Chain A
Amino acid sequence: MKSNKLIHIVSCHAEGEVGNVIVGGIPEPKGSSLWEKARWIDQDQKLRQFVLNEPRGGVFKHVNLLVPPQNPKAQQGFIVMEPEHTPPMSGSNSICVSTVLLDTGLIEMTEPVTEFILEAPGGLVPVKAYCEDGKAKSIEINNVASFADQLDVYIEVEGLGSLKVDTAYGGDSFVIVNAAELGFEIKPHEAKDLAEMGSKITAAANLQLDFNHPTNSDWRHISFCELALPLFDEEGVKVSRNSVVIDPGKLDRSPCGTGCSARMAVLHAKGELQKGDRMIGRSILDSRFDCSIVEETKVGDKKAIIPSIRGRAWITGTHQLMIDPEDPWPEGYRLSDTWPIKQ
C-alpha cells in the first residue's frame, strides 16, 4: 500500500444529508478572512476535486474543512464544500460540524447544554448543543441574517410557461416555487423529476433575475431551487415540506437549513410569520428541522431575520483518504449519469 497523502475525515449525516468533516491532514488555506479562504478553496479546486469527485466522493456528499477561526468570538471555523459551490453557510453542514466537534471531543462537551460559536465564511453561527450521555443529541444554530429579495415575480421556464417565484437568502441564495402548482407532493418516487425540474428553474432564474447580496458583492447568483408545498399545520405549528435541489441537480435529503431560513424570510416579509413564530421543516425523507424566527434585523438596507434551526446528526464513520502515487486519477472524475451536468 502506497500513499503520498493522508487526510483524516469523520463522516456524518444530519437528518439524512451527508456532511463529512476533515479533521486533519490539510494545510490552512490562504486568505486573511474565512470568506477569502473559502474563495481560495473554490478557485484552487484541488481539495474540492480530491474529496468530492469519484472515486472518493460523489454528488450526494458535502465535505467540511475545519480551519482556525478568524473572529476572536468564535471557537472553530469551517468551510463547506458542496458539489458545485463553496457557499457562505449551510444548515445541515453546521449541524454535522457541531456534532463531530462535540462527539469526538474537539470541543469539550458540557451536559445538558454546550454553547459555542462557529465561524462560517458567511458569518458567525452561535450553536446551542443539547447533549446527553456523551452524545450531542440535537444542535440548534442561529443562522446568518436571512432576507427576502424579490417577491411574487415571474420567470419563463421551458415547458412550464410563466412561473411565479420568490427569491431569498438564508445563508445561500434561493429561488422558491410552489411545488403543489407543479404537481409535486415531495415524495421519494418524485426524486428524479424534482431534481430535473429544480435545475431547470434555477437556470432560468439565473438568466432572468438578478440576485445581489447587499453586503457581500461576491455572491451574485442563485444557488438552489426550493420546491415547497404550501404551509400546513401539524400540532399547531406551521410545516414547510420542501425539497431543495442542490446544484447541479441533487436533492437535499435533510429539510435544508438555509432553505428553511430563506423561506421563513419570505414568509416574514409577506406577513405570514412573525418574530418568535415556529416552523417545522420536512424533507423528502420525512426528516425534520425545528425552526423559528429569533430576531428581526437588517442586511444593508434590507429587512432581515435571524432564523434558528434545530436538527440531529449522527457520526457514520471515520476515513483516512489516500492517493497511490501511481493512481491515474489524482483529482478524480465525474460522470453525468449520477453527477448531472450543470444547466
Chain B
Amino acid sequence: MRWKKTLTMIEAHAEGEVGRVVTSVVNDIPGVTMLEKMNFINQVDDSLRRFLVFEPRGYAQMSTNLIFEPTTKEADIGFIILQGDKAHAMSGSNSICLVTVMLETGRIEMKEPETIVTLDTPAGLVRAKANCKNGKCERVTLDMTPSYADQLDAMVNVEGLGEVFVDIAFGGVFYALIDPTQFNLKILPENARQLVDIGTKVHRAVNKQLNIEHPQFKDLNGISYTMFVGHDSDGVMKGATILPPGRIDRSPCGTGNSARLAVMEARGQASVGQTFVARSIIDSEFQVEILAKKTIAGKSGILPRVSGRGWIHGIHQIGLDPSDPYPLGYKVADCWGDAFDLLS
C-alpha cells in the first residue's frame, strides 16, 4: 500500500446528515481569516475539496469539514464546510457534528454538564453550547445568524407546474419556502425524488422571476436553496431542504429552520421565547426557538436558536495512491442529481 497523501477523518452525523471532520492539520490553506481561507478554496485551489468530496472517496449526501487553529482569541476552533459545489461558510448540522467530534475525541476539553465552544467560521463567530454527560456530547445548541422574512406569498410561474407560491426568507442564506400541499405531496422518504424535481424547478423560477437582495451584503442575492415546509399529522413542523444538484438534507436543516422561524414570526404564528420541534424527512428532530427580535438594516427579523444531536460513526484514514487516475475524483449525475446549473 502506497499513499502520497493521507488525512484522518472522524465521521459523524447530526440527526442523519453526515458531516465528516478532517482532524489532520491542514496548513497549506493561506488566509488571515476563515473567510480568506474559504475564498482561497473557492477561488484559487479547490483540489483538496475535490479529493475529499467527490467519488470514490466522498459521495453526494455528506459534507466534509476542515478544522483550523482559530484566527481570533475569542474562538476555540475554526472550520470550513466542503460540499459538492464549493466551500461553505456555515451550516447547523455540520456545526453539531464538529462540536460532537471535538468534544468526544478530546480535541477540546469536555466539561460536564455543559461546555461552551466558540466556532470561528467564514460567516463570523458562532456560539455553541454542548450538554455533556458521561463523556458523551448529548446535544449541541447553536445561536444562528440573524434571520428575516423578505417576501411573503410571492408568486412564480414554474414550467410544468403553473403558479407556485413561496415565502422568501434569509436564514444565513436565502431560502424559498414551499408549502408541499400545493402539489398534494407529503414530506416522506418515498417522495424524496419527486420533491427534489419540484424544488429544483421552483429554484430556477424564483431566481429568474424574483428580485432578492440582502440589505447589508450586496453579494448575497438570489436563493441558495428551496425548502418544503409542512406539518406531520401530530402538528409538528416538518421540512425538507433541497440541496443542488439534487438531494435532500437528512437533518431538519439549521439555516432553513432559521428562515422558517422568521416567516412564522412575520405571520404572527410564532413569538419570542417560543420553542418548536422541527422534523426532517427521516423523522429526526431539531429543537428551534426565537431568542429575540432583531432589526437587520431596517428589516424586522429574529435571532434564531437551533439544537440537535450528533453521533460519531467511524474513523477514516483517507489516502491517495500515487498511480490512482482520479486524484480529484468524479461525480456522476445518477447519484448526484442533474441540477448542476443551480450550484452557486
Contacts and interface: CB of A to CB of B under 8 A. Distances in A.
Interface of A: 1-3, 11, 13, 16, 18, 54-56, 58-61, 103-104, 133-135, 137, 188-189, 191-192, 194-195, 249-251, 253, 284-285, 287, 314-324, 326-329, 333-338, 340-341
Contact of B246 (A2, A250, A337): A337
B330 A285 contact: yes
B60 to A, nearest CB: 6
Contact of B312 (A1, A137, A250, A285): A1
B321 A336 contact: no
A121 B265 CA distance: 60
B281 A315 contact: no
B315 A319 contact: yes
10 contacts: A1-B104, A11-B57, A55-B62, A56-B11, A59-B335, A194-B334, A251-B334, A322-B313, A324-B311, A327-B311
Given A13-B55, A54-B16, A337-B247, 8 more contacts: A16-B326, A56-B11, A60-B335, A250-B334, A319-B316, A319-B317, A327-B311, A338-B335
A334 B324 contact: no
Given A135-B2, A336-B193, A338-B247, A316 B335 contact: no
B189 A334 contact: yes
Nearest to B315: A320
Contacts of B59: 58, 60-61
Q: Is chain B's interface secondary structure helix, strand, loop, or mixed overall? A: mixed
Interface of B: 1-3, 11, 13, 16, 18, 55-57, 59-62, 104-105, 135-136, 189-193, 195-196, 246-248, 250, 281-282, 284, 311-321, 323-326, 330, 332-338
A16 B315 CA distance: 23
B333 A103 contact: no
B312 A324 contact: yes
A56 B247 contact: no
Contacts of B313: 55-56, 321-324, 327
Contacts of A341: 190, 193
Contacts of A54: 16, 18, 61, 250
Given A336-B192, A337-B247, A315 B321 contact: yes
A191 B314 contact: no
